[in-house]
Amino acid sequence: MQPFRLAFILAVTIVTVLTFSLSQAAEVRISAAASMTNVIHELSAQFVAQHPDVTIVPNFGPSGGLAKQIQQGAPADLYISANTKWMKLLVDEKLIAPGTKAIFAYNSLVFVGQHEKRITALADLPELERIGIGTPTSVPAGQYAAQALRASGLYDQLLKSGKLVMAKDVRQALIYADRGETDGSFVYKTDAMLMTSAKILFEVPQNLYDPVAYPIGLTSSGAANIEAKALYDYIVSPEAKTIIAKHGFSIASH
């Protein structure tokens, strides 16, 4: 009886370990810029429909904050940034698998606010009292906005006058403007598609800031995850481009 019980316990243990391993292998963790939220949700749904055994765990936030999480060892198989700076940081630290960094989409910057606002250009911003902007030190949308404001000679003036309202990410800046909590906010053109009461007041001239490029990469640990590699291949595939473009992004040509 004792040998039988021992064999039974060993069998259960082996099955448990195998089940755990399989469930782990079928999980993909993706850290993506907040402006990619809707796109990633739809791409994930399409991918899971073809790979029903895979669970995708998204983590959305400011690109800089996500990069720092990965630096500190947070679990992530895929990383999508809203600029090349944070991706380069992880590549330089060998936290992104070699040969997997690829730009797959582009965006542009707009200024949004309530319909009654008569604002048509950057030069009109000093007339406002509260201007939403992603925190430039960690939010790419805020970095691009600050770059455009500096090029226009307005950033220091608006900052010193206390008119800039810092947001934790671009979606928060959008909410501020849509709820009327700011007179207007800098957001991506794709985010403006989600507004319910605000409108685009003007498009920020693209010659005033760097191209808004979205690089994707497999993390060092993600490169060993077969499902993560499959999701990566899907996101950069021609099939996914249709979904990405539907959400207002420009498609990167390779």
Report pLDDT for 6: 45
Q: Is 176 part of any known ligand binding site?
A: no
pLDDT greater than 50 at residue 8: no
Rounded Cα distance, 88 and 168, in Å: 22
- The 10 Å Cβ neighbour count of residue 49 is 8
- Residues 77-128: pLDDT tens digits? 999 999 999 999 999 999 999 999 999 999 999 999 998 888 999 999 999 9
Q: Judge whether 42 lies within some domain.
A: yes
Q: Same structural domain for residues 96 and 221?
A: yes
pTM: 0.81
Q: Is 35 part of any known ligand binding site?
A: yes
Top pLDDT among 232 and 25 is at 232
Q: Which two tokens stand for residue 251?
A: 């498609």
Q: Is 106 part of any known ligand binding site?
A: no
Q: Is 48 part of any known ligand binding site?
A: no
The boundaries of the domain holding residue 168 are 109-203
Q: Do 128 and 185 touch, CB atoms closer than 8 A?
A: no
Supply the DSSP symbol for 233: H
Report pLDDT for 14: 44
Check which CATH number belongs to the domain holding 19 and give it: 3.40.190.10
Q: Same structural domain for residues 188 and 223?
A: no
Q: Is 170 part of any known ligand binding site?
A: yes
Helices (H), 37-94: 37-50, 63-71, 84-92
Q: Same structural domain for residues 44 and 102?
A: yes
Q: Judge whether 72 lies within some domain.
A: yes
Please, which pLDDT band fits residue 254 given cuts at 50, 70 and 90? Answer: low
**Would you say how long the chain is, in residues?**
254
pLDDT greater than 90 at residue 249: yes
Rounded Cα distance, 80 and 88, in Å: 12
The torsion angle over the Cα atoms of residues 138, 139, 142 and 147, rounded to 10 degrees, is 60
Strand order in the sheet with 199-203: 164-167, 131-134, 184-188, 109-113, 199-203
**Summary mean pLDDT of the chain:** 91
Q: Same structural domain for residues 181 and 220?
A: no
